[in-house]
Structure formats: C-alpha cells, structure tokens
C-alpha cells in the first residue's frame, strides 16, 4: 500500500490534511489529521493492522492517538502503538475497555494539533464514553460509531442505549452546521445536513 503522502488526501485545505485508511476485518476507518503548517499529526482510532499504522505514524509524524470509543475493533493496535512511544487517549467512561492508555479525553476538552484544534464532544449511547472530534474552523467531525449515513450506531451492545445515542446526536451533533462533513468509524462519509431531516424516522423505527 502506498504511504498516505503519496495518495490524494481525503480532505485537504491550505492548513490541514486528513487521510483515511481502512483496516481489519470490520473495515474500520482510521484517520490521520495533520497540520500542514507545523507537521504535527494525530491518528483517530488505532483499530487494526498495527504494522501498517506504525508505518503511517512514522511517515506522518503522529505522536498521539485519539480513540472514539473502546469497542475491540477500534483498539486492536493500541498496545503496539503505545509500545512504539505513541500516546493513546480515550474518554474516561471507556478507559477500562482499553488494555492501556496514556491520557483521558474529557467532554469539551480541546486537543491542539500544531495550529489545529480538535474539540471533544461526548456522545454516549453506542458506548458510555463514545466521543466525536470536531475540527475547529473546518466543517469536519469525526463521529466514530455514533453517527453513520442513514442513522445512529448499533445500540444492541451491553451498556449501550438507543435513547441516549439519539439524544447525543440531536443535542451534540445536529447543532453543527449542515455542511459539516461526518467522518464515521466505518463506511462512507455523510453530512449533518443530509442526516438531520431523518431523526424522527430513526426514532420511529427504533434503531
């Protein structure tokens, strides 16, 4: 596989580049967010295929991993990246689901990536600590398994709640501008404006 720097970016402006890599049997989306001005970078979800992710981290300067939630398919490479000296963060409510971690991601905290800023948005429902990351100054949110094209993430797991994920989406994500690009943990992108009109349909169907 070519390195991320030799492929077209998934999203790019004069100051930010986002690359997307699909890994593992569950086809998890892994994103690399990089400041083009400073070279600082973070990886969203050390999901799987640790050798590939370590190669990408080395090539792009990733020093931290931000974890959207603690489900096993999103954390398979956590131990390997930590052993390589890369710090891993997760919301406190999901911290016990990881084999190990280095820092926590409180709601509304801001992570600086060079001159970029990522706001933590706690969106419980898929898991108690599910967290989305909004890129300030850009119409981009990393939604993990909270919001997908066509509806919320699965809430049939232990400690999951359909009512809670609907509340999270309605109050925390659907308040974002309609042009906001939603980058989920699996599958294709969508936008807030595309999904927001269907909230009542999701509530009626119950998933």
Q: What is the pLDDT of residue 4?
A: 56
Here the CATH number for the domain that contains residue 63 is 3.60.15.10
Q: What is the pLDDT of residue 7?
A: 82
pLDDT in tens, 61-116: 999 999 999 999 999 999 999 999 999 999 999 999 999 999 999 999 999 999 99
pLDDT in tens, 115-125: 999 999 999 99
Q: What is the pLDDT of residue 6?
A: 66
Which residue in 23, 200, 44 sits closest to 113, CA to CA?
44
> Is residue 2's pLDDT more than 50?
no
Number of domains in the chain: 1
Give residue 72's domain range: 4-205
Separation CA 42–CA 82 (nearest Å): 13
């Amino acid at each position: 596989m070519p390195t991320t720097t030799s492929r077209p970016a998934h999203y790019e402006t004069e100051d930010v580049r986002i690359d997307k890599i699909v890994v593992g049997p569950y086809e998890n989306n892994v994103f690399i967010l990089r400041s083009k001005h400073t070279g600082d970078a973070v990886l969203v979800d050390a999901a799987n295929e640790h050798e590939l992710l370590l190669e990408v981290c080395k090539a792009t300067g990733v020093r931290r991993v931000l974890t959207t939630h603690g489900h096993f398919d999103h954390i398979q490479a956590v131990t390997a990246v930590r052993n390589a000296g890369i710090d891993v963060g997760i919301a406190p409510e999901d911290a016990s689901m990881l084999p190990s971690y280095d820092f926590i991601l409180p709601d509304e905290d801001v992570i600086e990536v060079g001159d970029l800023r990522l706001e933590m948005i706690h969106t419980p429902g898929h898991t108690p600590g599910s967290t989305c990351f909004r890129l300030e100054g850009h119409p981009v949110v990393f939604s993990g398994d909270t919001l997908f094209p066509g509806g919320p993430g699965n809430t049939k797991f232990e400690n999951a709640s359909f009512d809670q994920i609907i509340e999270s989406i309605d109050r925390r994500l659907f308040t974002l501008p309609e042009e906001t690009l939603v980058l989920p943990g699996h599958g294709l992108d969508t936008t807030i404006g595309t999904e927001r009109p269907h909230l009542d349909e999701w509530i009626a169907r119950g998933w």
